[in-house]
Chains A and B, each alone.
Chain A
Amino acid sequence: MSQPVLECRDLRKTFGDLVAVNGVGFTIAPGETYGLLGPNGAGKTTSISMIAGLLERDAGDVSVEGKPLTTTSVEAKSAIGYVPQDLAIYPDLSGRENLRFFARLYGMHGDDLTRRVDEVLEIVGLADRAGDLAKEYSGGMKRRLNIGIGLLHRPRLLILDEPTVGVDPQSRNSILESVDHLSAEGMAVLYTTHYMEEAERLCDRVGIIDLGELRAEGTRRELVGLVGQRDQVVLALAGNIEAAARACSGIPAVHDASPKEDHLELVVDEARKALPRILETVADAGASVRAVEVTEPNLEAVFLHLTGKALRD
């Protein structure tokens, strides 16, 4: 495995008597998207504020590409692109002026700066409105500009703090596609969210955080495995449903087969792998499949299992 872009260990931060973050640590490899999933107030923003070098930490270590990072580190910060949760743009400057200002802060200049600003405007879909003042943008456009600023200097680690909060579905989809694209290009991404769907769609690995502590981390399947839940397959059938149920019970991956009036419910290990054999077995039993629905256990269930509460409580 290549050297991690981000390594953080035993992060701790208190505000008075409140322990906001306690012992959080994880790594992110190049091209990997790591999701920090937790409800509001779980400690996500405090964690990434320490990782981005905005907030002094009480304890713990952070390094980016092997370089230690503190609030005063210049070199390590150069490798990070930071997109805060709240909009962080200058409304009285145009989209292009916002980008040029931050590009210069990151040491870019000349043709490279101009070219990169144009590229980012294209990436975030603001090229045709680049000269307009940011205050004249829609909410979604402001969000996209907010993200674009974080991409300007081609960071090796992109930190996105709940970038889709308050965003319309179209812009949200655009943002998620952009993150997918950046990750595919080799950028390491740290993505915080309290939307389970986003974590499932985007993240290679997910850390579940609650009350300032990392409760579990791993791939989606690894986390689901912690809960011990299996996939559910519902087959809408015509023909002999009872016979189909009996036949499916003989498949090793199928743990339960319940015939209903017009459909068959199955509890299955790794449904997507087992589905071809199930369909074949049903057909052999004399039933025809009219529809298939596969439901995999999700991170919501994992979160409930680990913390005893729903993700949006």
Chain B
Amino acid sequence: MRAALLIAGKDLRQRLRDRSAVMVAFLVPLGLAFIFDLTLGGLPTGGTRLTFVVVDADGTEVSRIFVEEVLPQVEEGGAIELRTARSEEAARQLIQDAKADAAFVVPAGFGDAVQGTGGGEIRVIGDVDEPTAAQVAGSIARSFAADLDAVRLSVATVVGADPAAADPEEVAALSGRAAGVANPVAVVDAAATTKVLDITTYYAAGMAVFFLFFTVQFGVASLLEERKEGTLSRLLAAPIGRSSILGGKLLTSFVLGVLSMTTLIVATSLLLGARWGSPLGVGLLVVGGVFAAMGVMALVATLAKTAEQAGNWQAIIAVVLGMLGGVFFPISQVSGALSRLSLLTPQAWFMRGLSDLSGGGDWAVVLPAVLAMLTFGAVTGSVAMLRLERMTRL
């Protein structure tokens, strides 16, 4: 163990003197996170609340359900903020003044139309500069309309094909009961796994875990450098075990990885305002991420014959896994297949774990992600260890 510590200490001293290692481990990821934050930090994200204005020109029981029950439930979910206006013109003015992102207008006669022959409509007014807000508003309105159709179908089933012939009081009672049974709009509290990081934290974490894979390669790949420089023969001639040489290299990777991640977490928190979440949870994610990165990069290094070749291959793997793992854009939100494919990368699990934490969960919510990353590390690392032993032979 003493020899492994000596070798790790020597390697770390060399690496910290090597400006390229400092660049890769600390400066470049921090710089890129800063640039991404500057350029993309102003965009709305899942964490931004949309402001909707609602106009109830109908004033019936049906419009009241939409305005006083459905929309407030959505507001409670945290996604929107509601305001009211007395007229469509007033609503349009609020949007034009950028005081609201979209508006619902329930026109007069809407309730009668719904309970009568149909044809009632809720108008959604959007802002051309905020298409996402208009889409969200439209989605809420369509969901409510679909539920109303279900109620209408329930009533029609009971009173027959001609509602006009039915007793109005009976229809009203049935409608009320049906509306009470149906959940007009499903306002689901998003599961922790689908929470989205704010832009600053997202890119801080993305760049940190992306460059982690470059940082840890310095440890294992240095075994190839020792061979190239001739110092491996000197280490082998020393009265130490081969396991000490390997242990020293792995320890170097681990310390560099943890040091890099910790520095970036602290720096992005202080300089950019990134919100990483529970320190314990983040710590577990860092350890899992470093372990996975070490395993993957060690395996790649053992397949190479020279330090240069290892560096090239490791860079390719790090970039591909990083892209697929969603460190540059939230790939989990692109499509189902790609999202599932991304789970084959440690980076995706790291980002997923961090998203879980950002939802306000305690440290335990990261355990699945940590377990996944440890599994990555264990599988790739085991194969690498078998091959690494051969690398310490002349």
Contacts and interface: CB of A to CB of B under 8 A. Distances in A.
Interface of A: 49, 52-56, 71-75, 77-78, 80, 82, 84, 86-93, 97, 101-102, 104-107, 149
Nearest to A104: B6
A102 B238 contact: yes
15 contacts: A49-B394, A52-B237, A54-B394, A72-B241, A74-B239, A74-B240, A75-B239, A82-B233, A84-B234, A89-B231, A90-B14, A92-B14, A92-B18, A101-B10, A107-B239
A75 to B, nearest CB: 7
B17 interface: yes
B193 to A, nearest CB: 45
Given A88-B234, A90-B10, A92-B18, A55 B394 contact: yes
Nearest to B234: A88
A107 to B, nearest CB: 7
A71 B230 contact: no
A84 B242 CA distance: 18
Contacts of A56: 393
B173 interface: no
A75 B230 CA distance: 23
B229 interface: yes
Contact of B239 (A49, A55, A106): A106
B13 interface: yes
Contact of A149 (B234, B239, B240): B234
Given A89-B231, A149-B234, 6 more contacts: A74-B240, A77-B239, A78-B239, A80-B237, A93-B14, A105-B3
Number of chain B interface residues as a range: 20 to 34
B236 interface: yes
Nearest to A73: B239
Contact of A88 (B3, B13, B230): B230
A6 to B, nearest CB: 14
A53 B13 contact: no
A54 B230 contact: no
B237 A54 contact: yes
A56 B236 CA distance: 12
A54 B6 contact: no
B241 A74 contact: yes
B241 A90 contact: no
B228 to A, nearest CB: 10
Given A93-B13, A105-B3, A77 B238 contact: yes
B235 interface: yes
A156 to B, nearest CB: 13
A80 to B, nearest CB: 7
Interface in B223-281: 229-231, 233-242
A88 B236 CA distance: 12
Contacts of B240: 74, 105
Contacts of A87: 229-230
Contacts of A84: 230, 233-234
B246 to A, nearest CB: 14
A72 B233 CA distance: 13
B244 to A, nearest CB: 9
